[in-house]
């Protein structure tokens, strides 16, 4: 509300990447953090703006309205009030398009609302609190995205570890969905031989898959070296 005010939303995106060394190659996990400072809505009569400053204020209010519409649509979707196939208007403004993943995607989002005390700002304060109340109804459930290859390798490695521990304790456990035999239980020779054969087959499959993955990684590195 003065000549030096930036009258702009600020969005800073920080990208993180974590590389974990595994026997089957590098496991890369990445994420993005959006730090957003929204310009406050303003009334031209209170701000006393005109000309370019008035146009900037109107543009800010319009983008905040678009953001409010997206928040309302996501809140209705989370509470079951939205109609099947309802549209989330992310493309109504550049701001909502940039924040699409942060608002309703695979993310965890925190919103901090600032209000101004005083009777002259009662309406703006009330609108801000309504804004925040709608945002609280959005329920996101962030999960780690994994490629099918990485997920399968992790499952096989975990099963390998579990089976080895079980055999070390004197018992045999088979994969999920099979028959689990606790340590010390009475097991027939035929059943024991069958379960050991299954274990050996799974270990061979795991070793083969890890070998195949390592070969693919080595081939990719060779190709990259040639291109360089």
What is the value of pTM for the model shown? 0.57
What's the confidence (pLDDT) of residue 54? 77
pLDDT at residue 32 in the model: 87
Alpha helices in the chain (DSSP H): 44-47, 52-79, 94-98, 100-104, 122-136, 148-168, 189-227
For 201-219, how does the pLDDT look when each residue is reduced to its tens digit (9 = 90+)?
777 776 666 666 667 667 6
- The phi-psi region of residue 48 (left if phi > 0; otherwise alpha if psi is between -120 and 50; otherwise beta) is left
Low-confidence ranges of the chain (pLDDT < 50): 172, 174-187
pLDDT of the residue at 103: 85
pLDDT given for residue 214 in this prediction: 63
pLDDT confidence of residue 186: 44
Give the pLDDT confidence score for residue 14 in this predicted structure: 92
pLDDT for res 170: 60
Q: Which domains does the chain have, with CATH numbers?
A: 10-136 (3.40.850.10), 148-227 (no CATH)
Q: Quick one: which of 144, 148, 180 has its CA closest to 162?
A: 180
The tokens describing 130, both together, are 């309504």
pLDDT digits (tens, 9 = 90+) for 146-169: 666 666 777 777 777 777 777 676
For the residues of 154-211, what is the DSSP string, one character each? HHHHHHHHHHHHHHHTT-EE--TTS-EE-TT----HHHHHHHHHHHHHHHHHHHHHHH
């Amino acid at each position: 509300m003065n000549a030096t005010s930036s009258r702009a939303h600020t969005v800073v995106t920080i990208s993180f990447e974590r590389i974990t060394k595994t026997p089957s190659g590098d496991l890369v996990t990445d994420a993005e953090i959006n730090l957003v400072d929204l310009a406050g809505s303003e009334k031209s009569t209170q701000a006393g703006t005109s000309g370019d400053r008035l146009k900037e204020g109107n543009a800010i209010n319009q983008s905040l309205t678009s953001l409010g519409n997206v928040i309302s649509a996501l809140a209705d979707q989370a509470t079951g009030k939205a109609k099947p196939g309802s549209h989330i208007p992310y493309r109504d403004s550049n701001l909502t398009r940039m924040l699409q993943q942060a608002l309703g995607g695979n993310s965890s989002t925190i919103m901090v609302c600032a209000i101004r005390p005083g009777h002259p700002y009662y309406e703006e304060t009330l609108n801000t609190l309504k804004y925040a109340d709608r945002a609280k109804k959005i329920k996101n459930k962030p999960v780690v995205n994994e490629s099918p290859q990485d997920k399968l390798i992790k499952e096989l490695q975990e099963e390998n570890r579990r089976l080895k521990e079980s055999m070390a304790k004197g018992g045999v456990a088979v994969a999920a969905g099979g028959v689990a035999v606790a340590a010390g239980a009475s097991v027939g020779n035929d059943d024991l031989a069958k379960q050991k054969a299954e274990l050996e087959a799974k270990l061979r499959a795991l070793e083969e898959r890890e070998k195949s993955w390592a070969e693919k990684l080595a081939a990719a590195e060779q190709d990259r070296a040639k291109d360089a």
